[in-house]
């Protein structure tokens, strides 16, 4: 069969509130053109993030009733721990309320002034947690990873030569080597098993712990199965185990490939580090058998981890993004290719070449998609990354707009509607204007900045 259908039936639905372009224009002005400030009920298709926005299965909802809310030693924790260890064989599994809490705990121990932490590309919260400790975060993705047109099958790979030089140069000031799978900020691009192993070997040869940011581990494993020689025909679960068995720890947001609406964890092999992390956890998140989550959340994650590694689900998920990318590409809209695991990325810098990076072409595309079709997307470019720790502003490596797909939430007709909205925007794209930021916070400005459209 050519048609790849959603491999699930719908048992419970949530209405979408339809709006007109005129209503959306007013809403945009009220939100100061920051899409984070919109009410979600005023959004027709919400592609702001794939984080915590997925639909849970009937089995997950059933497991929620089994959640044991004991403060300490809950069987829900044991089920959660076993489900994580089944895929990621780490000694210590420390639950947190979401991924950034795991990062905050890890870097409160490992980072600090004078430290240097490399990754393929740090996600913004990871970078935020590192930099706010006074340490520096560096992105060492391969050159193809920042070229939207490169068809390299593993554009999330770490540049091994740069990493080797980095480790030689920074020596003892590197408390750990990170790797983000898939590489969210670089377009949801995967990292090969070969590259994961090579990064692990380099870190080990320098005596540095290797930590994987595993938010989208299942999507990454599916790409490995599709694209890496020798991996076809393997179980996704086995590929996942191979990826994590060479690492010393991981940070995780269960809001992505945990199939849950909330949750995360920090996993470590080192007992001393784990003890420090648990002590910090007690201070900031909660007792180590719940870590800021309810017992029912731990159950939802445990069940979710058994569902996310399903081949049929992953095939449908990745195919939806490929389908949209193929159609946008046919229309001449520059998109990051190949399609990413969790999102479609439009190259706004190339598409709106009349808007310079410091006037935020990505913001112009994101606002345009909302005006025309009520679609909420997210700028991942100069708005998000342009402000430097020293206060200066420089263009980000790319100006992308991310259309992130919530898991199991939208259908094929929603995908067609997204394509049609992009086609409409194509008609008016030359008249789109850039933006100016009129108010911004000191860090992570994209969430709360105010914008003004340039004349």
Task: Compare residues 104 and 309 and give the one whose CB is closer to ligand F0G.
Answer: 104
CB of 426 to ligand F0G, least distance (A): 26
CB of 249 to ligand F0G, least distance (A): 14
**How many residues does the structure list for the chain?**
455
Residues in contact with ligand F0G by CB under 6 A are 49, 51, 98-100, 123, 125-126, 180, 184, 213, 215, 253, 255, 264
Report d(CA 426, CA 392) in Å as an integer: 33
Q: What angle do CA 11, 16, 17 make, to 5 degrees?
A: 150
Do the beta carbons of residue 317 and residue 407 sit within 8 Å?
A: yes
Report d(CA 149, CA 132) in Å as an integer: 34
Task: Compare residues 123 and 313 and give the one whose CB is closer to ligand F0G.
Answer: 123
Question: How far, CA to CA in Å, does 169 sit from each of 57, 116, 414?
Answer: 48, 10, 49
Smallest Cα–Cα separation from 231: which of 188, 190, 200, 192?
A: 192
Instruction: Tell the residue number behind the tokens 């047109």, with chain if given.
Output: 149
Task: Compare residues 51 and 327 and give the one whose CB is closer to ligand F0G.
Answer: 51
CB of 378 to ligand F0G, least distance (A): 7
Task: Compare residues 116 and 125 and give the one whose CB is closer to ligand F0G.
Answer: 125
- Please provide the distance, in angstroms rounded to a whole number, between the alpha carbons at the two ends of the chain: 51
Do the beta carbons of residue 314 and residue 236 sit within 8 Å?
A: yes
Query: Nearest to ligand F0G by Cβ — which residue?
Result: 99
Residues 6+ apart with CB under 8 A from 62: none
Report d(CA 55, CA 303) in Å as an integer: 13
Provide DSSP, 119-184. ESS--HHHHHHHHHTT-EEEE-B-GGGG-TT---TTTT-B-HHHHHHHHHHHGGG---EEEESSBT
Task: Compare residues 57 and 129 and give the one whose CB is closer to ligand F0G.
Answer: 129
Task: Compare residues 144 and 257 and give the one whose CB is closer to ligand F0G.
Answer: 257
CB of 255 to ligand F0G, least distance (A): 5
CB of 215 to ligand F0G, least distance (A): 4
CB of 108 to ligand F0G, least distance (A): 15
Q: Find the radius of gyration of the CA atoms of the chain.
A: 21
Task: Compare residues 355 and 383 and give the one whose CB is closer to ligand F0G.
Answer: 383
Return left, alpha or beta for 137; rule: phi > 0 is left, psi -120 to 50 is alpha, else beta: beta
Smallest Cα–Cα separation from 189: which of 151, 149, 156, 225?
A: 156
CB of 126 to ligand F0G, least distance (A): 6
CB of 180 to ligand F0G, least distance (A): 5
Task: Compare residues 187 and 373 and give the one whose CB is closer to ligand F0G.
Answer: 187
CB of 74 to ligand F0G, least distance (A): 21
Task: Compare residues 117 and 355 and give the one whose CB is closer to ligand F0G.
Answer: 117
């Amino acid at each position: 069969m050519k048609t790849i259908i959603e491999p699930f039936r719908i048992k419970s639905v949530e209405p979408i509130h339809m709006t007109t372009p005129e209503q959306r224009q007013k809403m945009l002005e009220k939100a100061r053109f920051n899409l984070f400030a919109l009410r979600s009920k005023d959004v027709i298709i919400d592609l702001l993030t794939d984080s915590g926005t997925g639909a849970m299965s009937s089995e997950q909802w059933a497991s929620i009733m089994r959640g044991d809310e004991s403060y300490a030693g809950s069987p829900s924790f044991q089920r959660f721990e076993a489900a994580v260890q089944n895929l990621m064989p780490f000694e210590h599994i420390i639950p947190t309320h979401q991924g950034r809490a795991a990062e905050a705990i890890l870097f409160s121990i490992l980072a600090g002034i004078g430290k240097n932490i490399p990754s393929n590309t740090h996600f913004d919260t990871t970078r935020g947690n590192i930099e706010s400790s006074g340490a520096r975060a560096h992105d060492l993705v391969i050159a193809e990873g920042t070229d939207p047109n490169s068809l390299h099958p593993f554009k999330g790979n770490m540049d091994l030569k740069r990493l080797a030089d980095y480790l030689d140069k920074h020596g003892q000031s590197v408390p750990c080597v990170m790797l983000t799978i898939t590489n969210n900020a670089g377009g949801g691009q995967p990292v090969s098993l070969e590259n994961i192993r090579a990064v692990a070997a380099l870190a080990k040869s320098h005596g540095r712990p290797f930590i994987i940011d595993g938010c989208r581990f299942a999507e990454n494993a599916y790409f490995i199965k599709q694209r890496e020689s020798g991996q076809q025909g393997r179980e996704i679960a086995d590929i996942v185990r191979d990826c994590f068995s060479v690492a010393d720890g991981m940070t995780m947001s269960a809001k992505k490939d945990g199939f849950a609406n909330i949750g995360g964890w920090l996993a470590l092999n080192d007992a001393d580090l784990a003890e420090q992390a648990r002590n910090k956890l007690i201070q900031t998140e909660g007792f180590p058998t719940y870590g800021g989550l309810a017992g029912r959340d731990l159950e939802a994650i445990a069940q979710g981890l058994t569902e996310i590694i399903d081949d049929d689900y992953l095939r449908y998920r990745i195919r939806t993004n490929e389908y949209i990318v193929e159609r946008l590409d046919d229309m001449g809209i520059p998109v990051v290719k190949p399609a990413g695991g969790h999102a479609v990325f439009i190259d706004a810098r190339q598409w709106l070449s009349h808007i310079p990076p410091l006037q935020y072409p990505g913001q112009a595309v994101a606002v345009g998609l909302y005006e025309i079709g009520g679609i909420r997307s997210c700028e991942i470019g100069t708005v998000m990354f342009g402000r430097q720790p020293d206060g200066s502003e420089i263009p980000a490596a790319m100006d992308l707009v991310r259309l992130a797909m919530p898991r199991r939430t939208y259908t094929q007709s929603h995908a067609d509607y997204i394509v049609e909205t992009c086609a409409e925007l194509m008609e008016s794209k030359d008249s789109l204007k850039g933006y100016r930021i009129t108010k911004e916070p000191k860090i992570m400005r994209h969430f709360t900045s105010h914008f003004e459209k340039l004349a």
